[in-house]
Amino acid sequence: MAAEQYSVQAELGEASPKPAESIAPRPSASSWRTATISDAVIRIEGLHKLYETSAGLFPALKDVSLNIAAGEFVAIMGPSGSGKSTFMNLLGCLDKPSAGRYVLDGRDVEKLGKDELALLRNRTIGFVFQGFNLLPRMSLLENVALPLIYCGITSDERQQRAQALLSKVGLDGYAASMPNKISGGQQQRVAIARALINRPRLLLADEPTGNLDSQTSKEIMALFEGLNSEGITIVLVTHEPDIAQYAKRQVRFFDGRVVSDQITHQEAAV
Ligand code: ADP
């Protein structure tokens, strides 16, 4: 998995996000079942990605079309080299498609300028990586609050929001700790708190349990499940069927194409 292709800088973006009050309200937990195309957080039509290689153009994604509705929890699966990272990079607006259309939260990504795109990405998407990507010289509170530095939010509010998120991920009392003093599972919790600080509608997680033992992986997946039940849309890349089982929908890639797309958990009728 190419978690290194992401960077904290890319995650933080170059432009200030919208104030929190103006972020779209969260959909209900069950809205994915009844979602129409207009509720889609992600709409992808005929997406292609070609890489230039010494042997010529290599098609890493071929005619991918996919809609992901508000409140869904989707696992992206497939063997190594099937295009999962390429797809996630495009979803995260960290790379551009060679052809096709990507509409993120109602905005056609291709039509946005650099600053508009950074703004949309920052207020819509939280990123979680396999390697946690915490800044080693900053406390956990500072790590979580970091994306807010560029938002014109006061220091007091930044700290309050970061503290509330540390509590939410089960790390009350750890605000002043340093990343190298906590376990991998705790580091991933901090990274999830940081991903949530801008109140995104969508979490993109690239092998988030890839560096964790099985018990800790279960705990992290339970945390994702809880966030999803609050209405946050989650798209998660994983190689592991056990991890994919936490998702409600599994999309499989093979040789750059979507080869299966299945709803795996149907919520009980209300
Ligand atoms: P996965 O995440 O499923 O392992 P990737 O999206 O990383 O797959 O890669 C899909 C295909 O595209 C692979 O054959 C890979 O070698 C190729 N590829 C990925 N990135 C590049 C790149 N920057 N340049 C050339 N080929 C690439």
Q: 82 C-alpha to center of ligand 1: Å? A: 7
Q: Is residue 167 part of a domain?
A: no
pLDDT of residue 17: 37
Q: Which atom of ligand 1 is nearest to the CA of 58?
A: 26
Within-domain flag for 20: no
Residue 151 lies in a domain: no
Q: 6-26: per-residue pLDDT in tens? A: 343 344 443 333 333 333 343
Domain assignment present for 215: yes
d(CA 224, CA 221): 5
* pLDDT band at residue 39 using 50, 70 and 90 as cut-offs: confident
Residues with CB under 6 A from ligand 1: 1-2, 51, 53, 58, 60, 78, 80-86
User: Which residue range is the domain that position 50 belongs to?
Assistant: 27-137+201-263
Place of tokens 């709803």: 263
Residue 57 lies in a domain: yes
Tell me how far apart the alpha carbons of residues 197 and 123 are, in angstroms, rounded to a whole number: 10
The rounded Å distance from CA 36 to ligand 1 centre is 32
Q: What is the pTM of this model?
A: 0.86
pLDDT at residue number 159: 96
**Is 166 contained in some domain?**
no
Domain count for the chain, please give it: 1
**β-bridge partners, 104:** 42, 107
Q: 170 lies in a domain?
A: no
Assess if residue 194 is contained within a domain: no
Which residue's CA is minimally distant from atom 26 of ligand 1? Answer: 51
More confident: 10 or 189: 189
Q: What is the pLDDT of residues 131-172, one digit of tens each?
A: 999 999 999 999 999 999 878 899 999 999 999 999 999 999
Question: Where residue 100 sits, what CATH number does that domain have?
Answer: 3.40.50.300
Confidence of residue 267 (pLDDT cuts 50, 70, 90): low
Residue 97 C-alpha to ligand 1 middle, in angstroms?
13
Report pLDDT digits (tens) over 83-106. 999 999 999 999 999 999 999 999
- The closest-lying atom of ligand 1 relative to the alpha carbon of residue 78 is 3
- Residue 209: the pLDDT is 96
CA distance 155 to 245: 40
